[in-house]
């Protein structure tokens, strides 16, 4: 498997993308580089190790040799960007980013680890039932930046809508009753473009969680560029384009209907004669979006917290400490009993 690492041109250490600086930085000599500098460097010196001999594909795991320390590192079947477990060198599994698995677009991280941790602490502090080891520093260290795969669709829709309605107004003037009937016909024909319709392409993280940190600012999307993965985890899609086609088509048609009805002043009692929207073209882009994810095991249950790596929006479930709840329940019980006793005293 081809393994790729972006190395510091100055000292040779692994380079990571730093969201707060929007630059690539070496943590050892503190040199900073732009994307262009990294890509230019990459052209004349490709840091790709072909380690086919050492590659072992076992069930869902693959192992490769770290090109910094030589250790064997095992990854999950969908991972495309990771770290060496031993020397922490960022490693990109470039073989998993080619062909149909080559991403088209991405939104790079703008929220860094520090910010994600602060968001988490702020969120935890609002909940008094949380067990304190949930936000210990060792727990906070586990928050992980990961690029998650999505399908985005750009489409053109032919619209052909026709509706009809009658309105009438009755009034009297002297002995005469007047009725005025107006007959309207609404026609909407043409082509509309709907872009960036989104569906999650990864099944290993709950959709509710990902919906909870949506939306992303789609204006900031850019073409995929491999160096941005350096210093983060990245995953391959495991839900195919075909599997989401139906959902995406439904979304497109729904939006197209809304757009049409927004152009009609009054939809009340409209008799629809024709309502067609045909998707005439659709381009699907494989897009990577950034998220910070923290998972936590508590009393046999897994809890997940996520922060949108672009906007900072967070979502998650908190484990609730039974001890703290019990404390409050006892408090409530005592107060209730007192009130009842007092009530009783008054009756007597």
Nearest to Zn ion of 5, 308 (CB atom): 5
Q: Smallest gap, in angstroms, from Cβ of residue 80 to Zn ion?
A: 17
For Zn ion, give the closer residue by CB, 11 or 330. 11
Q: Which is nearer to Zn ion, 6 or 135 (CB)?
A: 6
Give yes or no for a contact between 294 and 302, defined as CB atoms under 8 angstroms apart: no
Question: In a 10 Å sphere around its CB, with 0-12 CB exposed, 13-18 middle and 19+ buried, how is residue 52 labelled?
Answer: exposed
Helix/strand/coil (H/E/C) assignment for every residue in 227-251: HHHCCCEEECCCCCHHHHHHHHHHH
Minimum CB distance to Zn ion smaller for 23 or for 105 = 23
Question: Would you give the distance in Å from CA 329 to the centre of its chain?
Answer: 38
- Please, which contacts does 116-122 make with residues 24 or more away whose CB atoms are closer than 8 Å? 116/143, 116/145, 116/292, 116/307, 116/309, 117/143, 119/307, 119/312, 119/314, 120/294, 120/305, 120/307, 120/314
Footprint of Zn ion (CB under 5 A) = 8, 10-11, 13, 26, 28-29, 31, 66, 68-69, 71, 84, 86-87, 89
* Nearest distance from C-beta of residue 4 to Zn ion, angstroms: 14
Q: Which residue has the tokens 């602060």?
A: 118
**Min separation Cβ 26 and Zn ion, Å:** 3
| Contact (Cβ atoms closer than 8 angstroms) between residue 110 and residue 309 | yes
Tell me how far apart the alpha carbons of residues 254 and 248 are, in angstroms, rounded to a whole number: 10
Identity of the residue, 24 or 305, whose beta carbon is nearer to Zn ion in the bound complex: 24
Cβ count within 10 A of residue 274: 11
Our CB check for Zn ion shows the closer of 4 and 288 to be 4
- My answer on whether omega of the bond before 215 falls inside 30° of 0, hence cis, is yes
Cβ 233 to Zn ion, closest distance in Å?
16
Taking the complex as a whole, the smallest distance from the CB of residue 71 to Zn ion amounts, in Å, to 5
Residue 289 C-beta: closest distance to Zn ion, Å: 28
Residue closer to Zn ion (CB basis): 71 or 159: 71
Of the two residues 10 and 217, which places its CB atom closer to Zn ion in the complex?
10
Residue 27 beta carbon to Zn ion: minimum distance, rounded to whole angstroms: 8
CB atoms within 10 A of CB 120: 22
| Dihedral in degrees, nearest 10, Cα atoms 122, 107, 228, 40 | -140
Supply the DSSP symbol for 96.
G
Nearest to 205 by CA among 139, 293, 145, 287: 293
Per-residue burial over 12-51, b if 16 or more Cβ lie within 10 Å, else e, is ebbbbbbbeeebbbbeeeebebebeebeebbeeeebebeb
Nearer to Zn ion, 27 or 158 (CB): 27
Q: How far apart are the first and last CA of the chain?
A: 85
Q: How far is the CB of 41 from Zn ion (least distance, A)?
A: 12
Q: Minimum CB separation from Zn ion for residue 145, in Å?
A: 19
Q: How far is the CB of 231 from Zn ion (least distance, A)?
A: 14
28 or 184: whose CB is closer to Zn ion?
A: 28
């Amino acid at each position: 498997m081809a393994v790729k690492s972006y190395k510091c041109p100055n000292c040779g250490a692994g380079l990571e993308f730093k969201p707060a600086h929007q630059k690539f930085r070496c943590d050892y000599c503190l040199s900073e580089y732009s994307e262009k500098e990294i890509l230019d460097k990459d052209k004349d010196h490709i840091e790709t190790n072909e380690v086919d001999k050492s590659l072992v594909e076992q069930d869902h795991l693959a192992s490769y040799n770290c090109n910094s320390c030589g250790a064997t590192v095992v990854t999950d079947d969908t991972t495309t960007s990771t770290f060496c477990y031993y020397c922490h060198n960022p490693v990109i599994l470039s073989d998993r980013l080619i062909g149909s698995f080559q991403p088209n677009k991405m939104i790079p991280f703008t929220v860094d680890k520090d910010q994600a941790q602060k968001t988490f602490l702020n969120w935890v502090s609002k909940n008094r039932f949380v067990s304190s080891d949930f936000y210990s520093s060792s727990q906070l260290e586990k928050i992980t930046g990961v690029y998650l795969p999505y399908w985005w669709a750009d489409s053109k829709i032919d619209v052909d809508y026709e509706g009809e309605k009658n309105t009438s107004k009755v009034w009297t003037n002297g002995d005469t009753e007047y009725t005025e009937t107006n007959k309207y016909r609404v026609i909407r024909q043409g082509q509309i473009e709907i872009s960036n319709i989104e569906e999650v392409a990864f099944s290993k993280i709950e959709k509710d969680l990902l919906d909870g940190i949506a939306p992303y600012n789609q204006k900031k999307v850019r073409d995929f560029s491999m160096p941005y993965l350096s210093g983060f985890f990245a995953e391959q899609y495991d839900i195919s384009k075909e599997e989401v086609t139906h959902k995406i088509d439904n979304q497109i048609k729904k939006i197209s209907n809304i757009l049409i009805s927004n152009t009609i002043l009054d939809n009340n009692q409209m008799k629809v004669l024709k309502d067609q929207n045909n998707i005439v073209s659709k381009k699907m882009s494989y897009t990577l979006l950034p998220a910070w994810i923290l998972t936590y095991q508590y009393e046999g249950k897994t809890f997940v917290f996520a922060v949108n790596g672009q906007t900072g929006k967070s979502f998650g479930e908190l484990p609730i400490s039974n001890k703290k709840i019990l404390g409050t329940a006892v408090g409530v019980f005592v107060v209730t009993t007192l009130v009842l006793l007092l009530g009783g005293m008054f009756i007597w």
